[in-house]
Amino acid sequence: MLVKSSLLLLQLLTCRNCRAMLLLHATDAQALCATRNVGLEVGLKLSRHTPQPIQGTCVLAQAPRFCFSSHQLTSSLSRRCALSMMAHSAELETVLSTACAAAREAGVIMRDRLGADVVETKAGFKDLLTEVDALCQQAIEAAVSARHPSHAFLGEESVKPGVDASSAALGSVAESDWLWVVDPIDGTTNFASGLPLSAVSIGIACKGELVAGVIYDPFRDELFSATVGGEATLNGEPMRVSKATRMQEVVLAAGSPPNPRSLAPALRGVVALSPRVRTVRMIGSAAIMMAWVACGRLTAYFEPDLNAWDTAAGAVLVRAAGGRVTGLDGSEFELRTRTLLCSNGDTHDELLEALTDADAIALDPA
């Protein structure tokens, strides 16, 4: 049963245009999670652009489209939670609905208070906090607690500043059955300055693996959402990554981190890539930059030091929209990954190589 089911799943995942999802019960999902031990992911060399036909017959349930490209396929087979998530598809839809509603509720608070006074700084004078950050997080957490009381919740405003504190906070909840990873206002400096370039970011993980993401930009009333194996949407309409294939076509975004140890490599990357790409933008919100990669406005975005709440939602969006998300060392992105390159996929390897050559892939020494 294991091998037969595994092969059927493999056939589904190799068709990037497949508009169906295999119905799995929890017991089947647990068994199929062993596919990585069967070794199905080894040696798969599939064309990124060539659909692979499904042979034979199988019973399928209508569901959002699978959009796995070849580099996503091998990693998806080795993700412990991808199949368990499918077994909980009904709950996942409820979770996504809650996330969308909570993001919109927090967005109303943001929209009404743009330009709020800074109440304190956190890690340094560039790392700002307003009273609205806490209000938005409270609204989101209340919505989650009301509908999903057993779910774990990790919000930026509940964690002390610094890498050690954020890593410890994530580690304490990372393996929860369901985990909400929330940045109530991503882009607080923009928000406090009256710049309408900030967003609510809500990522949802199952046993440490990201399964859903929602980013809401209240100033443009744009709701970006996606689930693993589902379709990425912008205000309910399908979205896809940029079609750029050459470096000269790349519209690149870069982070402007507050920590000098991360700012220096970010600037080295900008200097190295600026002559090779169409343009570089520093927008000041990881959530917005990742959402814009997912919908094709940007080709790629990189930053050398980020927390899970900055990237969790965006990683799901970019992958579901057909893009690629890795660490700056090229490793597969996961919740604990602190460096980031997300792109449309076609330009990813060349960007990684250029950033590596520029010594822009890790923090400078203390």
Is 183 one of the annotated binding-site residues? Answer: yes
Question: CA-CA distance, 346 to 359, in Å (whole number)?
Answer: 22
164 annotated binding-site participant? no
* CA–CA dist 27, 286 (Å, integer): 37
Looking at the DSSP assignment, which residues form a beta bridge with residue 40? none
Q: Is 157 known as a binding-site position? A: no
Q: Does 357 appear as a known binding residue? A: no
- In the chain, the largest separation of any two C-alpha atoms, in whole Å, equals 63
Instruction: Say whether 127 counts as a known binding-site residue.
Output: no
DSSP label of 157: G
**Phi, psi angle pair for 153, to nearest 5°:** -135, 125
Question: Dihedral (C-alpha) 257, 261, 264, 270: value to the nearest 10 degrees?
Answer: -50
Closest CA to 184 of 211, 209, 207, 153: 153
Report d(CA 11, CA 80) in Å as an integer.
19
Q: CA angle, corner 234, sides to 233 and 239, nearest 5? A: 55
Q: Which residues line the annotated binding site for Mg(2+)? A: 156, 183, 185-186, 310
Q: Give the residue ranges of the annotated binding site.
A: 156, 183, 185-186, 310
